[in-house]
Each structure stands twice: as structure tokens, then as C-alpha cells.
Amino acid sequence: MPPRSAPTARQLRLGAELRKMRERAGMTAREAGELLSANQARISNIETGRFGLSEQRVRTLAHNYACTDEALVQALVEMTGERNRGWWEEYRDLLPASQLDLAECEHHAVTVRMATVLHVPGLLQTDGYARALFRGAVPPLADSDVEHRVSYRKRRQEIFYRPRPTPYEGFVHEAALRMQFGGRDTAREQLQHILDMGERPGMSIRVVPFTSGVFPGSGQSVSYFAGPVHQLDTVQLDQSHGMLLLDAEAQLEKYRQLLDRMESIALPMAKSRDLIHHVIRDL
């Protein structure tokens, strides 16, 4: 089987975790290859996500690396069993690969925590609101590209409508609530949608008010996707040049603290709803 030309975020992560495991064991790629009757290049391709491997191979490597964390090993084993292509692959030739990686992270997350300052989180956006954002892109997007992005964003939200919806905790700054992207009617519809979503099981949407003063971070959006074990958590940041995924423990800890700080200054859910109602009345 030829190497993958474009590994997904999950495939890259599986390889990266196996590399970390090997390095903690103080073993070279050549030595690891010998244990599998493979060469160094094979191990390198596995660790960069270009080659897949079986459940048994993952267990064999974990055993050879003296890993005793069975929960981590099991989580990695389950990542090898994903043979079916996710729905996001339908957009492979229509959207940047990083956008597909985002849907993959959301789909597999055990819980999602998110903080935004200037816009409503993508997982909570209405079609009209999302369309207005995409129409403001620089450089401008063709109408067909805008619609592809809107439909894709809508499909990402299906994680809330599964038999077992993904638990969600969102912190939205008051500034985002008062932005009238798409005009007053679109803004009003968007705010009502936030209220409606907040009534769903497992959903917590809280507002960080202007009166909270200084808040952590520089205003960038932060998403934290919890994995089945904490070693497989992932942070996603929105940047002007694209999306960034982080998984180093120091980075994860930094953004856990940032989100904890946002949680400490956000209004309780009931008062958050009151503030959203107040913003709607002001429109």
C-alpha cells in the first residue's frame, strides 16, 4: 500500500503519540523498526501518519516501548480502527484541508470547550450569520464557495443532534453578541438561536460581559477538544492565515487555564440569558 499523500489530523496525531512513546522509551526509529521486522523508514512513515498500522501493531509497539498506560494504549488502538471516511471527506476538493481536520476533531471529541470574543462560535452560528461572515472574507469568495462553507459549518453542528450529543461549554464575550453581522434581522435570529441551543442537554453557553474588565488571551478564538484520555486533548486556534492545532502538554495546560479563567469571569447561565435577551431588545 502506498504512503498517504495527505494524512488527516487524527492520523498525524496517532503517529505523533507513538513517536512520543518511543522517545520516552529512549529508543531510536531504527531500533523500533527491528522489533517489527521493519526498517527505519517504515517507522518514520508511521510516525508521520503516512502509513497506517493495525491494532496489534499498536499494542506491540506500546509493549516494546514499556508503556503501562492501558487507557492511552486503548485510545490509540481505537484510532486505528477508523476505516470509514468521515462525512467531511465530501468536501475534500472544496475546502482547505485544515477545515476538514477541524470537523474530524469535533466529531471525535469527548467534550468541547470554546471561547470567542468578536464572533459567535462556529458551532452555534445560523446559516445567515455564517453567510455574512464568509461574504466578508479577504480576498472575496465566490458565491459557490460561500455556500460550500455555510453547508459545511451546518454539518459540523450535527454533533449536537446525535443520539449522544457532544457536551459543549461555550464562553462568548458580550462584544460578539453586539456585532450585527448581516444586519439586525440576522443578528436577532442568531441571538435567539443561542438561547435555543442553550436549552439543549449538555449545553452551557455563558457570556463574558463588558463589565468583567480584563480577560485572558488577545481576543483570538480558542477551542479545546477533550480526548478519551487527557494525552489526546487538542487545542484549535483561529488565525488570520488559517487554523492551528496544538497538542503539546504545556500548550494544553496554558489553554486549560485560559478557559478556566474565562469560566470564572463569565456570568452564570441564567444571567447570561438575561443579557442576551437585553441585547435582542436593543436591536
pLDDT at 84: 59
Q: Are residues 236 and 117 in the same domain?
A: yes
CATH number of the domain enclosing 40: 1.10.260.40
96 lies in the same domain as 74 = no
Cα angle 13, 167, 223 (rounded to 5 degrees) comes to 50
Q: What is the pLDDT of residues 209-235, one digit of tens each?
A: 999 988 776 677 899 999 999 999 999
pLDDT in tens, 133-166: 999 999 999 999 999 999 999 999 999 999 999 9
Question: Which of 80, 102, 125 is at the close of a domain?
Answer: 80
User: Residues 172, 233: one domain?
Assistant: yes
Same domain as 128, residue 54: no
Say if 2 falls within a structural domain. Answer: no
**Cα–Cα distance, 160 to 123 (Å, whole number):** 9
Cα–Cα distance between 242 and 114 in angstroms, integer?
17
Query: Which residues, in sequence order, are bridge partners of residue 206?
Result: 171
Domain span at residue 165 reads 88-282
Residues 154 and 191 in one domain: yes
Set of cell numbers at residue 160: 449536537
**Residue 91: partners with Cβ closer than 8 Å, 6 or more residues away:** 99, 100, 148, 152
- Where is the domain boundary, 26, 51, 80? 80
Q: Are 66 and 24 in contact (CB under 8 A)?
A: no
Q: In what order do the strands lie in the sheet with 222-226?
A: 203-208, 168-173, 111-116, 222-226, 234-239, 242-246
Question: Would residue 207 count as lying in a domain?
Answer: yes
Q: What's the pLDDT at 4?
A: 72
pLDDT at 254: 95
152 and 58 within one domain: no
74 and 100 both lie in a single domain: no
Alpha helix (H) residue ranges in the chain = 9-24, 29-35, 40-47, 55-64, 70-80, 97-108, 127-135, 143-156, 174-178, 184-197, 249-265, 269-282
The three grid cell numbers given for residue 134, joined into one nine-digit string: 464568509
- 123 and 52 within one domain: no
How many domains, in total, are found in the chain? Answer: 2
| pLDDT for residue 1 | 53
* 246 within domain boundaries: yes
| Structural domain includes residue 215 | yes
Total-model pTM:
0.93
pLDDT at 82: 58
Q: How far out from the chain centre does Cα 8 lie?
A: 13
Are 46 and 152 found together in one domain?
A: no
Which residue stretches of the chain have pLDDT < 50?
Answer: none
Phi first, then psi, for residue 111 (nearest 5°) are: -145, 160
